[in-house]
Amino acid sequence: MRTYLRIINFARPFGVVVPVYTVLILFHTVFRVVNFTALIPVLQLLFNTEFDYSAITKPAEFTFSDRYFIDLFQYHFGNIILAEGRLPALYFVCAILLISVLLANVFQYMASLIQAYTRVKAVSNLRSKIFERITLLDLSYFTETRKGDIMSRVTTDVQQIESAVVNTLKVLFREPFLIIGFFFALFRISVELTLYTMVLLPISSGVISFIAKRLKRTARKAQESIARMTGILEETLSGMRIVKAFTARKYTIDKFNREVDQYGKHNYGMAVKFNLAGPISEFLGVSFLSIILLIGGRMVLGENAPLDAAAFIVFLIIFSQVLNPAKSISSAFTNIQRGIASGDRIFEIIDKEPEIVDGTDAMPISGFKKSIRFESVDFTYDSQRILHGLDFEIPKGRIIALVGPSGAGKSTIAELIPRFYDAENGAVTIDGINVSNLRINDLRKLIGVVTQESILFNDTVFRNISFGKPEATIEEVERAAKIANAHDFIMDLEEGYNTLVGERGSKLSGGQRQRLSIARAILKNPPILILDEATSALDSESEKLVQDAIFKLMQNRTTLVIAHRLSTIQNSDEIIVMEKGEIVERGDHDTLISKDGIYNKFIEMQSV
């Protein structure tokens, strides 16, 4: 129930919606009840039941009660019978029925609009909230969690909530009003007979509740299976070249089909339980109706009958209407369990708190003045020690290069500076202040990052370059593109800077994508620059163009370069050679060559 209330809470604010909706449903209920109770005088007319209408000589004095309206109806109804006969009285009742049905449906329609607004509001806010939370989580979360599972929660799970939970609002908020209204009418007809019905109905509710609890467990397994299917699909689409190159199509299909079969089993299990609720509730409803028919029949046919035939028939009609909303509520309850299973998965993300956050006393920072320092830094990831007591400094305006084999900890160093991760021990400082004591947004505004993988979005060239600086003018974007040697190829595109680059920049070559990434960093104009294998994905021609852009970009900036190619690192002020998370050599290019150590062997391997 807590999960359900949290979902509904996303439809806030309720200030105006709930009172208006309540009034509309109340009027809808009143006129629905009038529709059926008005049948009593009709049946009495048809059955020729005797009633002394001449005793009602004047309308009742106004009181806000059902008795007043009943007496008022009988006064006018009786006058018509006495003055004009039974047939005009029948016309009078039918007119009241038509007006009552019309008003009941008008109020229902108006209430349905509010329900639709509530549904749209709740789902929109929920989807926005989960996306907002995802963008706030640490990079480690995305390393440990399958992208397919995250995508499934944002799409399939939210859709399940919309269809299985939010759409039940009309049932859970309208049907109880109807049940209360119908029972009020039943009590007015016969208290004794109504008490029998109130004993029987909870039995049906208990059976449906038992089925619903079992349905929730199966629904969660089904949603988890969908998440795994989405993950396999995402991996296959991303790695289609590898699938085809390694002739692994059959393996991939078998893997996907196994998950499809697993989902099918869970889905069938849900169908077994879900479809069982309707027949059971209908059988129980008819059984109870039969019992009421026997009890009420004895009351009508017995001596000194406390109930006339017309009233009993209307009682049965109204009781049959009670079964419909009761059945709707029981079905909605089973639906809700399916939605709650999805809701639990969504709230796992919404409730997850990021570990990298601003401290309560986080300090602002607007510029970079002196140096970046690593002071006895240790870092462990997934029980594996990546960095061991790391100590070095990057003075302002200097170019520091990191080299070493894969797994040496180079990229980890680059990720500690903007606080994508926090050091386990020691400190990373900027101008003597631990980065964990700085405001994260202020810190990251000082840093520009260009990685080996060119991250582009399915948008225009202009918006990819101005990403993070949406207020940039076309002149500023063009200036950055020219420095990155990207302007010429951009102008050759079909729509220039308004050309869509495709998903992940698929319409561009690797060199073109990388130059756009560099143009994006140039536009940001950060004092600190991190180049993580920025030229390793380029061909020789593209590398020459990009290298020139990078050298211009690095002027008057503090730069950390991670690279394998000699052309990228040999002009660095200092080269730090790493191995197994430790610094094993350091110095400029000429100094390290003269040592004939690890760096020299690294250069010799490139020369082969």
Residue 107, domain CATH: 1.20.1560.10
Note whether 145 and 233 are same-domain residues. Answer: yes
DSSP string, 123-144: HHHHHHHHHHHHHHS-HHHHHH
Summarize the confidence of residues 81-85 as an average pLDDT.
Answer: 71
Of 369, 366, 520, 371, residue with least CA distance to 443: 366
- E strand or H helix at 447, and its extent? strand 447-451
Domain membership flag for residue 362: no
What's the rounded Cα separation, in Å, for the pair 240 and 13? 46
- Supply the pLDDT for residue 430: 93
DSSP 12: -
Note whether 345 and 379 are same-domain residues. Answer: no
Note whether 323 and 390 are same-domain residues. Answer: no
What's the structural domain count of the chain? 2
Q: What are phi and psi of 286, to 5 degrees?
A: -65, -40
Domain boundary, last residue among 350, 384, 406: 350
CB atoms within 10 A of CB 261: 10
Note whether 402 and 320 are same-domain residues. Answer: no
Burial class (CB in 10 A: 0-12, 13-18, 19+), 2: exposed
Q: 234 near 148, Cβ under 8 Å?
A: yes
List all residues 6 or more positions away from 295 whose beta carbon is below 8 Å from its beta carbon: 193, 196
Summarize pLDDT for 21-62 with one digit per residue, the tens: 888 888 888 888 777 776 666 666 555 555 555 555 566 666
Domain membership flag for residue 363: no
Least confident of 87-96, 176-185, 563-572, 589-598: 563-572
Note whether 386 and 346 are same-domain residues. Answer: no
Note whether 250 and 380 are same-domain residues. Answer: no
Domain membership flag for residue 355: no
Domain membership flag for residue 96: yes
Domain range for 498 is: 371-607
Residue 540, domain CATH: 3.40.50.300
- Supply the pLDDT for residue 437: 92
Domain boundary, last residue among 350, 382, 397: 350
Domain membership flag for residue 356: no
Summarize pLDDT for 544-594 with one digit per residue, the tens: 766 777 777 777 789 898 876 666 677 788 999 988 888 998 888 888 888
Read off the pLDDT band of 330 (50, 70, 90).
low
Read off the pLDDT band of 376 (50, 70, 90).
very high
Domain membership flag for residue 364: no
Q: 505 near 454, Cβ under 8 Å?
A: yes
- Is the pLDDT at 374 greater than 90? The verdict is yes
- Supply the pLDDT for residue 145: 79
Give the residue ranges of DSSP H helices in 351-423: 410-416
